[in-house]
Chain A
């Protein structure tokens, strides 16, 4: 059981952090920009909607990088570290690790360069290298504009209709999942059948990935948390891929 897949309803937590800023430190903007650029340059976009001309983009990046890769990294962390590190700190760890793992740079290079910039009390003001590559920027902005829709033109009939009683499966924990842990084994009612079939990024091993029907499922909180822990006067909805549902 992975904590990161099962945060919903966790007890014993303190107050919510009401911070409204997107970034609490200026450096966080840079790792956000790097992650977004990687997603916009990912080679899986060759087969996306639309089919981006990835082979023609003048980048040295020749790998797949999607939300699934970022999330898998976060889900693989020691759960105590997951709570210890701030949101973008997790991104920085995961993404720099990815580049080292894939051989784009070595840990020594990264350490050396980090030590160069790490001066007493402030980051070294030496400017970044000047190497403007408009072809890369155009592709990344195009990706932001046109997106990467998971909808696929596949003729699979949904297994469930609105009003069907379903139960969320309780499958073995995978490296990465979109099965909310607190819903494992819980009964719900199909509230909406999303039109069409929806794929997911490459990578997951639990059946997520191939285009399949998707549903909005409605749950009674008492069925999820039990009478004592559920609040009155609330309803819980989750979007669930068909692979995660059984008929009740």
Chain B
């Protein structure tokens, strides 16, 4: 598997092994010294399996697609909308205290970036994928969003205005993608299954296939 930068820099052949050994050493010492417990890291990771992940965002998107009143609330006050659906606890927790949703339409396409680091709405989307954290994406998407989206396979018509949102403050932005055609027969669960993390940050559209 190719790792970003492999071709440009001279890495030790044992690069990954050294990091794996170092982080294990660190965790071992932190447990020995009572800074964390032996289950702390595992519990954190498990929390993201059950409580924070794109399954939450997908559910909100599907509901917004079928319920115009809910869609209006989601756009106006995302955190309040999360309370309406009886979702898991923690929807306004870490990295989700203040979330906002940008709506894609036939004439507006929204793209979320973080030029300063990798701010990402944890409760609704979970943890950010590597493409979002990539300094090349963060740098290029700011200035040439249309070109970058085309490289992602999303070729937008010139009539579509692209709005780039730089998450440089307290808000954790994400995107309400357009409901794809040919889905009128689908219930919310079926619709939610179509929604990808990429579509909820604006580098893809939701498709039926």
List chain A positions with a Cβ less than 8 A from chain B: 4-5, 7-10, 13-22, 24-27, 29-34, 36-37, 39, 41, 58-61, 67, 71, 74, 82-84, 86-87, 89, 92, 95-96, 99, 104-105, 109-110, 113-118, 121-124, 128-134, 136-137, 140-141, 143-151, 177-182, 194, 198, 214, 216, 221, 224-225, 229-241
Contact = CB atoms under 8 A, between A and B. Distances in A.
B130 A234 contact: no
A32 B128 CA distance: 12
Interface stretch (B61-69, B147-155, B178-186): B147-155
B128 A22 contact: yes
Contacts of B14: 118
Contacts, number: 321
A140 B98 CA distance: 20
B44 A238 contact: no
A25 B151 CA distance: 25
Nearest to A87: B133
A29 B151 CA distance: 29
Nearest to A178: B168
- The A contact surface, by secondary structure, is mixed
B158 A233 contact: yes
B94 A129 contact: no
Contact of B169 (A21, A29, A239): A239
Interface in B15-38: 16-38
B24 A27 contact: yes
Interface string B106-143: 00000000011110000000111111011111111111
21 contacts: A8-B142, A13-B140, A15-B136, A20-B130, A22-B130, A29-B41, A30-B26, A59-B35, A74-B117, A86-B4, A105-B29, A128-B27, A133-B36, A137-B37, A144-B44, A144-B52, A144-B94, A145-B90, A147-B94, A233-B162, A236-B142
A236 B23 contact: no
A29 B42 CA distance: 9
B5 interface: yes
Given A26-B20, A117-B28, 12 more contacts: A7-B139, A8-B115, A16-B148, A18-B152, A95-B26, A113-B29, A143-B94, A147-B95, A148-B94, A180-B116, A234-B145, A239-B168
Contacts of A149: 92, 97-98
Interface residues of B, number: 93
Contact of A34 (B4, B27, B89, B90): B27
B127 A32 contact: yes
B144 interface: yes
Contact of A237 (B129, B160, B164): B164
Contacts of B31: 128-129, 131
Contacts of A114: 18, 21-22, 25
